[in-house]
Structure 1
């Protein structure tokens, strides 16, 4: 049981899930995921902050009893209603029938809609407070990070922020709960992947949330997934700030599809030339093999984006079509882009890729496209080198 005292009056009572194969039935979980729940115990009242996924509810109940004994929580604060956190609400209410469920107006609508619960609810608004006796909960509404009801809860006296899915990451808790107890670098790539997969579309709302939090002194960030951030608070906040402004590191992601190796040959030529030009962070993804989760993570992390595909049934090769839709959905910005492709008789692939980029407002006057008819010729490969030169020049200037 990963029960930890975080600071005076605040404990971690979350659980690990090492068996669910895909988060939201979409995103791979090779290292599992944690569902984080917390207890805030004042001198007169106790609050449980967030629940867990329904299949892990027995573990949560056991952890609560380990901390609170036979005493029931007075409040259940719901920062986010997605069922990986709220799935346990009905079970918790059955064990603690007098426990008041706390949420904003949109939250309580969802409590009714998902679970049919309409009694013993407390509606809170932005900056409302609940006194627990020596500890005070202050609520900060942060809509669309990443559902419309999301909010965060701040404990004034301990400088602790319960951030819901904000600042979270994939990966189960491996013993250490607070960042200074564990290998932080293990979780950083999983934070990029979590953000790009789950939150990526909502950068403007993340920025609004960060603005709302900027005057708070925060010693601990307690999210609903991943470690509790303490030593790394500034770094983690910086990563979220950068990602939500669609800023990225110097590097290039090459995403391609290839049926018989012709488009792949172009991708390899581009990657080789980028390395010659001094680009070290190069990530190459064959979209038929790399999961979209990892492709998106790299696309959010690095500034250069080169996309290639063959024409398929007079349209775009399906794995790349999925990538393009995901990029468009997430409203990606501020990238140095280029495109390439191949065809046998109908030159559609590059045209289709560029059309999506135009819809996404990602085309630039400097963008280079290269297309091969049948197999790439020596001229085609020279054009691929020129494409790489253009991207490298823009990144390194």
Structure 2
């Protein structure tokens, strides 16, 4: 049972002397002012109270300073706070730092050597600061806090903290998820929760995926894999048998391993021409037993781009249907293509279909962009308006090649 749960705030024990202080954000509609999050998101700070030291790990989003100070003050006297560990300086985690410093200028802030400069540039403060080396340990009476640098997950100064006495890894963005879990601990890695983890990974960490496996292996080597609790800054705390499953999932996310015979179909259709084509494509793929997720940009529907990128991360393949707009790809699909290139970084088979009115100018340009980014374009077909029987025949042949590429 939570010690406190009111006004979107949860304060509860995680393990012995470690406590979570969580804020449930239902008002932010676009995470990082970019990603649609109708499911909401949490900001998780953690507090370790030992006999001789009180240590806070991260805080809440900028703009929630008063709420955070009030929540923290319900547990401790802020004047008794000895250390604040900063795992990552982005403002959804560091937003209350200045307010904490103003309440208690005797706090020692702990972070990566780069963090001190960011404290000055982002918040205009120069507090007591301890820059920790990779693998450095801070000892209190009953605990040892090991700080492990995990650069580019997802900023260069990101680090995690391992506490061997409670076998807990505090991970900030790593292992994070969107959504607002009903409880502090996740009871099962359900399809819904895995989707929220994958979406968060693809949206936020995906650009830096080349660093994920080496940093994950580094952490597991240093900790000898002796981890029973993962405490991220977004989403639920993961414990017990689910820890290994979560680690395996993170490898799956980083490697873009295909799951569930998933195919992502994304398209724009201003007047229904592309819509008709993609309905045909979706029906054929579904008849073949693929699990098809469609993301549409039409005059009646606008897909969630964050969901799309998350789904595409572990898809077998992607079908793109692009209408022509002012001699260029339809703007929202152009945006989707840019994000697929940036966040997935290639490695997926793609079937490309474009539709045009008076000029066939988009196909070659888009195909070249995708191939340069490392995607394999199985086929690229342009249709002039309403598809003819010959067009549909070409699309069916292309779908056969697409199917073969995904089932080899």
In the other structure, the counterpart of 1:324 is: 337
Secondary structure of 2:386's match? coil
Deviations, residues 96-139 of structure 1 (Å, cap 9, x unaligned): 22111111111111111111222311110100111121111100
Structure 1 residue 58: Cα displacement: 2.8
Whether contact under 8 Å (1:78, 1:101) holds in the other structure is: yes
Whether contact under 8 Å (1:316, 1:352) holds in the other structure is: no
In the other structure, the counterpart of 2:87 is: 79
What TM-score does the superposition give when structure 2 sets the normalisation length? Answer: 0.92
Whether contact under 8 Å (1:331, 1:360) holds in the other structure is: no
5 Å-filtered alignment, 1:49-198, equals 49-69=57-77, 72-174=80-182, 176-180=183-187, 184-198=190-204
In the other structure, the counterpart of 1:257 is: 268
The RMSD of aligned alpha carbons is 1.7
- Determine which structure has greater relative contact order: mean sequence separation of CA pairs < 8 Å that are 6+ residues apart, divided by chain length: 1
Secondary structure of 2:262's match? strand
Whether contact under 8 Å (1:314, 1:348) holds in the other structure is: yes
- 1:297 equivalenced with 2:307 (yes/no): no
5 Å-filtered alignment, 1:246-395, equals 246-249=256-259, 250-279=261-290, 281-288=291-298, 289-363=302-376, 367-395=378-406
Structure-1 separation of matches of 2:96 and 2:78: 19
In the other structure, the counterpart of 2:251 is: 241
What TM-score does the superposition give when structure 1 sets the normalisation length? Answer: 0.94
In the other structure, the counterpart of 1:36 is: 44
Secondary structure of 1:125's match? coil
In the other structure, the counterpart of 1:219 is: 228
Structure-2 separation of matches of 1:118 and 1:70: 19
Deviations, residues 220-267 of structure 1 (Å, cap 9, x unaligned): 111110000113211211121111122222221111111221122211
Structure-1 separation of matches of 2:339 and 2:189: 31
Structure-2 separation of matches of 1:330 and 1:192: 12
Q: Structure 1 residues 59 and 186, CA, compared in 2 at 3 Å: closer, same or farther? A: farther
Structure-2 separation of matches of 1:22 and 1:191: 16
Structure 1 residue 79: Cα displacement: 0.2
Secondary structure of 2:323's match? strand
Structure-1 separation of matches of 2:204 and 2:149: 19
Structure-2 separation of matches of 1:28 and 1:277: 32
Whether contact under 8 Å (1:47, 1:76) holds in the other structure is: yes
- 1:17 equivalenced with 2:25 (yes/no): yes
Structure-1 separation of matches of 2:238 and 2:140: 24
Secondary structure of 2:239's match? coil
Structure 1 residue 317: Cα displacement: 1.4
Secondary structure of 2:74's match? helix
Structure-1 separation of matches of 2:255 and 2:399: 25
Whether contact under 8 Å (1:317, 1:349) holds in the other structure is: no
